[in-house]
């Protein structure tokens, strides 16, 4: 695969043939054409090379959605650099862990995070770019000045198997680990999604996800730019806001997280004309009740796609439903069949997948890489089944995983934070059903004899300090001891059952 065959090459081809076509629309409505996008990306790439960054060097990105974030991805592709997205919702504590682990040579952040970034000064690299108004702190360079002048000639310093993105995903150890996404794997996802998403020519996406979620860029942003489409950022949104954006921009594609399925179905039924331009509506990332999906199908018909994907597949889908599946309520309970180029099999109830979008392993984690990636297959950790027709059903998203509002919460990470609270002897974190978010996080704590009456408040305060909002427990329950298996391991199934019983009785 030569550079011109990759996503960058496809985007450069659009910029040459249609430089005035709109590539990105920011949340404030400002459009950016392909010509301007590529030109500014090239200037950023030349700047990063000029200050000494070499192919393979990492660039940490703690940015808000918008054109500067897109330009950083394109600049990194040109310069052979590796993007390390830092979740926009992360606390300083969480961001520090990623920066220490990835050892970036440069960092780029949005001005709204100036205070948090200053708290990280001791672990930041010397090359610092800041997006936003006002004088940059920490001797940072104003990114606007960088992209205003300089050469607009695109660079081409990356090969197909070179690393492009380190996508951090928490593991069952509670320590984030970085999935290694190469140019080849990201290109595969972008190309395959054109068919899997049934994209219209030059599709326009009403963007409901955040670029700081690793999957969003290969799966949505680069997929659309590669076909000369338009990416419309919404900023903070709700269903009426999404409807207005779809109507205004004649969007053809959007993604619905689980919590808004009901709101969407009701709104779309009342005002179908506002959604008429959509050819595809994707639901993925978290399990949704079949009746919620059926309510959407009742309004939009076969435009709904249900799929299964993950960071380790470069953020892309591995399975998807077809247009004919939408009318079958049984098939709505599946995540469809493998898309072209993918295979799914079951080994000891665990789903394994093989396909061209898979990561090459985990950053500096040889043991975990060897355990998860073997002979072209990735052991997903998801429990499920594959029927005789090839339809995949997920029974549970990684046995211990809590999926709240489409966001992954790994219990061990939350437990690691709560364990630092004085008075906590032991803790187990589980997910319990929630009518809107799918699941909510509950901490079950064994308190010490000297824990004090304010232990619950201190647990919640520590979680607020160190964890993103979606990871914080909604309830803290106290028990004398955690239930265990015959192997003396904590039984999460028993913890979850006990928590559900306690909550149903209103006990704390």
Domain that holds residue 274: 195-396
Question: Do 68 and 138 belong to one domain?
Answer: yes
Q: How far apart are CA 311 and CA 282, in angstroms?
A: 17
Instruction: Supply the CATH number for residue 148's domain.
Output: 3.40.50.980
Of 396, 412, 430, which closes a domain?
396
Sign of the CA dihedral with 184 first, then 407, 472, and 416 last: negative
Question: Do 383 and 409 belong to one domain?
Answer: no
Instruction: Supply the CATH number for residue 299's domain.
Output: 3.40.50.12780
Tell me, yes or no, whether 174 lies in a domain. no
pLDDT of residue 133: 87
Q: How far apart are CA 254 and CA 234, in angstroms?
A: 11
Question: Do 52 and 80 belong to one domain?
Answer: yes
pLDDT of residue 5: 58
Q: How far apart are CA 90 and CA 62, in angstroms?
A: 9
For the chain, how many structural domains are there in total?
3
Q: Which of 212, 162, 181, 217 is nearest to 363 (CA)?
A: 181
pLDDT of residue 173: 44
Are the CB atoms for 339 and 313 separated by under 8 Å?
Answer: no
Question: Do 417 and 302 belong to one domain?
Answer: no
Question: Do 233 and 311 belong to one domain?
Answer: yes
Question: Do 112 and 241 belong to one domain?
Answer: no
Question: Do 333 and 408 belong to one domain?
Answer: no
Question: Do 387 and 418 belong to one domain?
Answer: no
pLDDT of residue 402: 87
Q: How far apart are CA 159 and CA 420, in angstroms?
A: 44
Tell me, yes or no, whether 295 lies in a domain. yes
pLDDT of residue 306: 93
Q: Which of 102, 136, 372, 111 is nearest to 214 (CA)?
A: 102
pLDDT of residue 97: 92
Tell me, yes or no, whether 481 lies in a domain. yes
Question: Do 388 and 414 belong to one domain?
Answer: no
Q: Which residues pair with 339 in a beta bridge?
A: none
pLDDT of residue 396: 60
Tell me, yes or no, whether 1 lies in a domain. no
DSSP structure class, residue 65: S
Question: Do 151 and 63 belong to one domain?
Answer: yes
pTM, whole model, 2 decimals? 0.85
DSSP structure class, residue 450: T
Q: What is the three-state SS of 95-154?
A: HHHHHHHHCCCEEEEEHHHHHHHHCCHHHCCCEEEEECCCCCCCCCEEHHHHHHCCCCCC
pLDDT of residue 171: 45
Question: Do 267 and 390 belong to one domain?
Answer: yes
Tell me, yes or no, whether 342 lies in a domain. yes
Sheet harboring 424-434: ordered strands across?
A: 424-434, 438-447, 475-478
Q: How far apart are CA 21 and CA 32, in angstroms?
A: 8
Tell me, yes or no, whether 26 lies in a domain. no
Q: How far apart are CA 415 and CA 444, in angstroms?
A: 10
pLDDT of residue 406: 81
Name the E strands within 348-413: 350-354, 373-374, 377-386, 392-396, 402-404, 407-409
Instruction: Supply the CATH number for residue 419's domain.
Output: 3.30.300.30
Tell me, yes or no, whether 172 lies in a domain. no
pLDDT tens for each residue of the chain, 508 residues long: 454 557 889 899 999 999 999 999 999 999 999 999 999 999 999 999 999 999 999 999 999 999 999 999 999 999 999 999 999 989 999 899 999 999 999 999 999 999 999 999 999 999 999 999 889 999 999 999 999 999 999 999 999 999 999 999 854 445 679 999 999 999 999 999 999 999 999 999 999 989 988 899 999 999 999 999 999 999 999 999 999 999 999 999 999 988 788 899 999 999 999 999 999 999 986 667 677 888 999 999 999 999 999 999 999 999 999 998 887 888 888 999 999 999 999 998 789 999 999 999 999 999 999 999 999 999 998 878 999 999 999 876 565 778 888 888 878 789 889 989 999 988 999 999 988 888 999 999 999 888 999 999 999 999 999 999 999 999 999 999 998 764 556 788 889 999 999 888 765 5
pLDDT of residue 489: 65
Question: Do 277 and 388 belong to one domain?
Answer: yes
Residue 363 corresponds to which tokens in the numbers above?
């950053």
Provide CB contacts within 8 A for 276, sequence distance 6+.
none
Of 378, 396, 414, which closes a domain?
396
Helices 67-79 and 7-17, axial angle in degrees (round to 10): 120
Of 396, 430, 460, which closes a domain?
396
Tell me, yes or no, whether 177 lies in a domain. no
């Amino acid at each position: 695969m030569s550079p011109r065959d990759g996503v960058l090459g496809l985007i450069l081809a659009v910029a040459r043939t249609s430089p005035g076509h709109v590539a990105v629309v920011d949340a404030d409505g400002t459009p950016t054409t392909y010509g301007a996008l590529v030109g500014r990306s090239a200037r950023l790439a030349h700047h990063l090379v000029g200050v000494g960054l070499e192919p393979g060097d990492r660039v940490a990105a703690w940015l808000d959605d918008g054109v500067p974030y897109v330009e950083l991805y394109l600049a990194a592709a040109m310069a052979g650099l590796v993007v390390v997205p830092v979740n926009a919702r992360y606390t300083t504590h969480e961001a520090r862990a990623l920066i220490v682990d990835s050892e970036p040579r440069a960092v780029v952040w949005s001005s709204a995070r100036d205070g948090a970034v200053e708290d990280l000064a001791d672990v930041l690299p010397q090359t610092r770019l800041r997006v936003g108004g006002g004088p940059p702190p920490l001797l940072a360079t104003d990114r606007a000045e960088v992209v205003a002048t300089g050469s607009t000639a695109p660079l081409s310093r990356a090969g197909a198997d070179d690393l492009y993105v380190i996508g951090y995903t928490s593991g069952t150890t509670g320590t984030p680990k970085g999935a290694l996404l190469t140019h080849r794997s990201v290109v595969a996802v972008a190309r395959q999604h054109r068919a899997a998403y049934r994209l219209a020519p030059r599709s326009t996406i009403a963007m409901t996800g955040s670029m700081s979620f690793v999957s969003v860029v290969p799966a949505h942003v680069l997929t659309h730019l590669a076909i000369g489409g338009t990416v419309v950022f919404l900023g903070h949104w709700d269903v009426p806001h999404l409807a207005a954006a779809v109507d205004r921009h004649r969007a053809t594609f959007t993604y619905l997280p689980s919590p808004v399925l009901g709101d969407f179905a009701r709104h779309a039924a009342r005002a179908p004309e506002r959604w008429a331009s959509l050819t595809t509506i994707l639901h993925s990332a978290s399990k949704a009740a079949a009746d919620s999906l059926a309510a959407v199908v009742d309004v939009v018909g076969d435009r709904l796609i249900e799929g299964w994907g993950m960071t380790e597949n470069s953020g892309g889908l591995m399975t998807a439903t077809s247009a004919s599946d939408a009318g079958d309520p049984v098939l709505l309970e599946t995540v469809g069949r493998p898309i072209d180029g993918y295979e799914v099999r079951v080994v000891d109830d665990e789903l394994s997948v093989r396909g061209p979008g898979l990561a090459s392993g985990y950053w500096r984690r040889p043991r975990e890489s060897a355990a998860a990636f073997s002979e072209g297959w990735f052991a997903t950790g998801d429990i499920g089944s594959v029927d005789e027709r090839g339809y995949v059903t997920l029974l549970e998203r990684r046995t211990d995983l809590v999926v709240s509002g489409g966001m992954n919460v790994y219990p061990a990470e939350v437990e690691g934070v709560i364990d630092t609270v004085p008075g906590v002897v032991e803790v187990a974190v589980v997910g319990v059903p929630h009518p809107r978010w799918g699941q909510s996080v509950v901490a079950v704590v064994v308190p010490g004899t000297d824990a004090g009456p304010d232990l619950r408040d201190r647990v919640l305060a520590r979680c607020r300090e160190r964890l993103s909002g979606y990871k914080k427990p909604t309830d803290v329950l106290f028990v004398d001891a955690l239930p265990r298996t015959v192997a003396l391991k904590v039984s999460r199934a028993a913890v979850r059952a006990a928590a559900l019983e306690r909550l149903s009785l209103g006990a704390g």
